[in-house]
Each structure stands twice: as structure tokens, then as C-alpha cells.
Chain A
């Protein structure tokens, strides 16, 4: 299983999904209109490293984080 967490203001509980890559996660989210609004403006980290495409393989125990726009300070 892969754990998916939604950070900051997205305000959703983490979920566990049985997927082998990020493209499968994209497919799971495709009909979730509210989440799509966030995904348009959110970056993605796998195991706490930002990734630059959805062409990323995942394995058991990996963690995916969804990061909406940031504002520190």
C-alpha cells in the first residue's frame, strides 16, 4: 500500500491506496472535482522529495504528499 497525504489547507484525511505509480493515483483522483481544483496548483513529493512528473514508480510503503501553494514567514 502507498500512503497519500494532503498537506496544509486541503484538509483531507490521509488515504492508503494499492498503486504502482503516480499515473494510477492520477486516475483515482480524476472524477473528484473538488480535489482537482487543488491538484491543478499542487506539487507532489514522494518520500519527501519533490517530483517533476507523474511518470514515477511506487512501491509498498512509499508516501506521496500533495503540496498546495506555500507562504512561509
Chain B
């Protein structure tokens, strides 16, 4: 399940909904990760752009990968502005036993950081500034550059 929301996530509602949906499906472990916007570098918050078609394709591959281990991946992300101490990202893995979910949540979040087509901006002094220094170059980048 992939959910995109405008602005900050209502974390309690999202996790409660997921829990209610899966609690009687015989998964013994439900591990979640919640990203909270930190007060650092004088920012007022963060802002996000998402390219949803590619995000859906990426997430679909994760659904299939998790299914091979009888696990389920869930994710919610914000687009637009999210302010300090609000949340922009919640993900979760359910599996019959804890070890698979604990491993997969780590692998999922790492791959999310490296691959998900989402762009982050700092909100600072009324401006929206691309977080270039924290962004990761996707594989096979540069193929349309004259340097290639």
C-alpha cells in the first residue's frame, strides 16, 4: 500500500489504520519507521515533490520482493510542505516472524532513500531551496550529458 498526502502525515491515524487492517492477518511482527522533521540549520520545514508514476513502479517491485518472504510493505509520504517536528514519511513491514520484518524495513528504507523519485527542499527565509547536498544521484545518471 502506497499513500501520498498533501502536507504533514497524520501518523497516528495512518498507523492505526494499517494496524486495524493487518492485525488479524496472522502477521506476528509489525515494524514501522517514522521520519520526523528535525530543527536544524535554521530551516522552518521541508518540502517535497514526487513523481508518482515512477514511485508506484518502484513500490510495486518492493511489494513483490516482500511477498517472496511472506511479508508486506506499506508506505505513506507527504508532498508539499511539512514543518518542524511533523512527519513526512511513514513506512512499515509486516511478516510472520520478526527477523524478516526487521531486516526488510532496513533494506526498504535504504533503497527508498537511494531510489524513490522524490525531491526534497529546505524551507528557509521564505524560500524553497533544493537539498542538493543531501540528494543521491540515481543509477545510470548522465546518459544525456555531452560528457558521456
Contact = CB atoms under 8 A, between A and B. Distances in A.
A67 B140 CA distance: 11
A72 to B, nearest CB: 4
A50 B146 contact: no
A43 B145 CA distance: 10
Interface in A32-70: 36, 39-45, 48-54, 65-70
Interface stretch (B23-31, B63-71, B130-138): B130-138
B146 A42 contact: no
Interface string B107-148: 001001111111111000000001110111111111111111
A70 B117 CA distance: 6
Contacts, number: 121
Contacts of B121: 9
Nearest to B130: A9
B32 to A, nearest CB: 14
9 contacts: A22-B143, A22-B144, A40-B147, A49-B57, A52-B143, A65-B51, A67-B51, A70-B118, A72-B113
